[in-house]
């Protein structure tokens, strides 16, 4: 009989409750591993740089022309090319001109190919002010602050219609505190408060 993994307790899980596994035991093999970056393919570097740098405060750490494509590496303002290996919160943007006629998939839009990738999340001190900032730059707000409609949760139609059960009130309470906007390539970007209030 397999030994249960405390970091992945078996379900089913109670609706509307956080399951908080104990911290994983120290692992010398992975002690210095960190999630470093996420890569997105983009169509218009100028629009994407404006969105991520001007709306969300990242800065361009470097630009690298790889020949058939160009890489834009973005990160927090205290990041430099020398500190990339120890930095967190980096975003790598690939501009591939050969992809001009190819539509990139967004995992939140059911009915299209590519369901899987969901969104990028930014923590901010004031979600409402950040939404207004994004709007002032002309970018689309997908889910405004204060709303908790299932249709804005990136879910398949049968879940939105309630055929799989009701979304928990606790999740809806948290979801009202968040907002979602769309970046220039259609990717969803979540705006999260630094402190999420409990129900």
Tell whether 106 is covered by a domain.
no
123, 190 Cβ separation under 8 angstroms: no
* Closest to 185 (Cα-Cα) out of 37, 36, 39: 39
120, 38 Cβ separation under 8 angstroms: yes
User: What does the pLDDT read at residue 115?
Assistant: 54
User: What does the pLDDT read at residue 113?
Assistant: 67
**Same-domain status, 146 and 180:** yes
Confidence of residue 51 (pLDDT cuts 50, 70, 90): very high
User: What does the pLDDT read at residue 184?
Assistant: 92
User: What does the pLDDT read at residue 150?
Assistant: 80
* Closest to 183 (Cα-Cα) out of 46, 66, 52, 60: 52
- Residue carrying structure tokens 């379900």: 11
Tell whether 114 is covered by a domain.
no
Tell whether 13 is covered by a domain.
no
SS3 126: coil
**Same-domain status, 173 and 134:** yes
Instruction: Give the count of domains, the chain.
Output: 2
**Mean pLDDT of all residues in 58-70:** 90
Tell whether 157 is covered by a domain.
yes
Q: Is the per-residue pLDDT at 53 higher than 80? A: yes
Kindly list the catalytic residues.
190
**Mean pLDDT of all residues in 101-129:** 79
Query: How far apart (Å, rounded) are the C-alpha atoms in residues 189 and 127?
Result: 12
User: What does the pLDDT read at residue 50?
Assistant: 96
SS3 182: strand
186, 138 Cβ separation under 8 angstroms: no
More confident of the two residues 33 and 198: 198
For 82-110, how does the pLDDT look when each residue is reduced to its tens digit (9 = 90+)? 888 788 899 999 899 888 888 777 777 77
Cis peptide before 6 (omega within 30 of 0): no
Look up the pTM and report it.
0.76
Tell whether 8 is covered by a domain.
no
CATH number at residue 65: 3.10.180.10
**Same-domain status, 85 and 126:** no
Q: Is the per-residue pLDDT at 78 higher than 90? A: yes
Mean pLDDT, rounded, of the chain: 85
**Same-domain status, 188 and 146:** yes
| Domain region containing 188 | 119-193
Least trusted range by pLDDT, from 21-25, 105-109, 120-124, 183-187: 105-109
Tell whether 23 is covered by a domain.
no
Q: Is the per-residue pLDDT at 131 higher than 80? A: yes
30, 183 Cβ separation under 8 angstroms: no
User: What does the pLDDT read at residue 65?
Assistant: 87
**Same-domain status, 123 and 92:** no
Confidence of residue 116 (pLDDT cuts 50, 70, 90): low
């Amino acid at each position: 009989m397999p030994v249960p993994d405390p970091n992945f307790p078996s379900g089913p899980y109670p609706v509307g409750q956080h399951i908080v596994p104990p911290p994983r035991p120290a692992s010398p093999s992975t002690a210095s591993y960190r999630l470093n970056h996420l890569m997105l393919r983009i169509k218009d570097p100028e629009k994407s740089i404006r969105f991520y740098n001007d709306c969300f405060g990242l800065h361009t750490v470097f630009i690298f022309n790889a020949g058939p494509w160009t890489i834009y590496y973005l990160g927090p303002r205290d990041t430099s090319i020398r500190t990339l290996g120890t930095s967190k919160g980096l975003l790598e943007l690939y501009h591939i001109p050969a992809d001009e006629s190819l539509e990139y998939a967004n995992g939140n839009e059911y009915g299209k190919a590519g369901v899987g990738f969901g969104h990028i999340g930014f923590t901010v001190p004031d979600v409402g002010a950040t939404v207004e900032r994004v709007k002032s730059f002309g970018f689309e707000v997908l889910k405004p602050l204060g709303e908790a409609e299932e249709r804005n949760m990136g879910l398949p139609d049968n879940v939105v219609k309630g055929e799989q059960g009701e979304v928990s009130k606790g999740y809806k309470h948290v979801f009202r505190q968040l907002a979602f906007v769309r970046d220039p390539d259609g990717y969803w970007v979540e705006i999260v408060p630094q402190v999420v209030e409990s129900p």
